[in-house]
Structure 1
Amino acid sequence: MGDVDAQFLRGLFDEEGSLYTGGRTALYRLYGLEGLLYVGISVSPLTRVRTHLREQPWGPSVIGIQIDYPPDAESAEREAVFTERPRHNVVFNGRNPPPPPDPASRLRTELAVERRRLEEFDSAVPESPTHLRLIERGIRSKKAKIAKLLAEIGSLETGGL
């Protein structure tokens, strides 16, 4: 590896060896063979993930990590845990978690999940015409669901049912 490459890689990390985030809070997801294991937030996501891997009994089963930087990480964490139900989250993930404060908030959470799934469909590269048809069907379905959720949110916010 050349000096320029090494400098670039070092520039990605802060003095403590964590991914440089510019002070932003990251939302991270840890995955295992059985699906989503844990969702959390941190200003030093790689350091926090390393702690989970070392200290949690489920740490050795982590096989994938996803790191995002949403505008409101705390709300995004709450929504992700509530809607995606990671296996090892304790906070926000009781057997019967409290409902969101109002119906519009619940629908916004569902809307965020549907938009994320739509982005996943949009970014998929088809392997064959059959895959393309399945992806197109998924995109149409998600767009219809998003339109329905937006209409329901608008109805609730304007006082109608």
Structure 2
Amino acid sequence: MSDVDSQFLRGLFDQEGSLHTGGRTALYRLYGLEGLLYVGISICPLTRVRTHLREQTWGPQVIGIQIDYPDDAEAAEREVVWTERPRYNVIFNGRHPPAPPDRASRLRTELAVEQRRLAEFEAAVPESPTHLRLLARGIKAKRAKIAKLVEGIGNAEAASVR
């Protein structure tokens, strides 16, 4: 393998050896000889899969992995577990589909994503005045979205108390 290839491959992974996800949450499926064993979500899918392989009694049964990046990973996980019935998932694997999370929980998840993206913007070093303007615009937009999400969480929690 050439140096360019190895640099490219190293660039796909972070310091912990997990795929760079760009702040997105991955939906991963673990397969065994008899079919789907487990479904989960993570922002560091390979790190999480390695943990399963090391710590779960069913880890040695895993022979295949599929990683996707759906828009709403939590909803996708619920749907996959409900429809595909992975053998070792406990949550969402009952007789009735689970209720979707309440509005405040969904907003908290979105808030965490937006805060992480804001931190990435703020940590970026501009390469030119144009990059600086784009970063400043991105930071301003993320701060506005975070403020709106915090307000939405407060409203949702207040509405659920009533």
TM-score in same-fold range (> 0.5): yes
* Separation in structure 1 between the aligned mates of residue 98 and residue 52 of structure 2, nearest angstrom: 28
In the superposition, relative to structure 1, how do residues 90 and 7 fare at CA in structure 2: closer, same or farther (>3 Å)? same
The superposition leaves residues 99-145 of structure 1 with CA deviations (integer Å, 9 ceiling, x where unpaired) of: 667xxxxxxxxxxxxxxxxxxxxxxxxxxxxxxxxxxxxxxxxxxxx
When the two structures are superposed, what TM-score results if normalisation uses the length of structure 2? 0.59
2:132 matched residue in structure 1: none
Query: Residue 57 of structure 1 corresponds to which residue in structure 2?
Result: 57
* Percent sequence identity over aligned pairs: 83
Once the two structures are superposed, residues 61-102 of structure 1 have per-residue CA deviations (whole angstroms, 9 ceiling, x without a partner) of 0000000000000000000000000000011013x234667x
Question: What is the Cα deviation at residue 16 of structure 1?
Answer: 1.5
Aligned pairs for 1:115-126 (under 5 A) are none
In 1: Cα distance, 2:23 partner to 2:61 partner: 29
Q: Give the secondary structure class of the aligned counterpart of 2:53.
A: helix
- Over 3 Å counting, the alpha-carbon distance change for 1:88 and 1:6 in structure 2 is same
Q: Show the counterpart of 1:37.
A: 37
Amino acid at match of 2:71: P
- Correspondence for 1:86: 86
Residue 6 of structure 1 corresponds to 6
Paired with 2:98 and 2:26, the residues of 1 have a C-alpha distance of 25
Structure 2 residues without counterparts, runs of 5 or longer: 101-162
Q: How many residues align?
A: 100
**TM-score with structure 1 setting the length:** 0.60
2:36 and 2:56 map into 1 onto residues whose CA distance is: 15
Distance in 1 of aligned mates of 2:74 and 2:36: 18
- Counterpart amino acid of 1:12? L
Map 1:98-137 onto structure 2 (within 5 A). 98=97
Secondary structure of 1:65 counterpart: strand
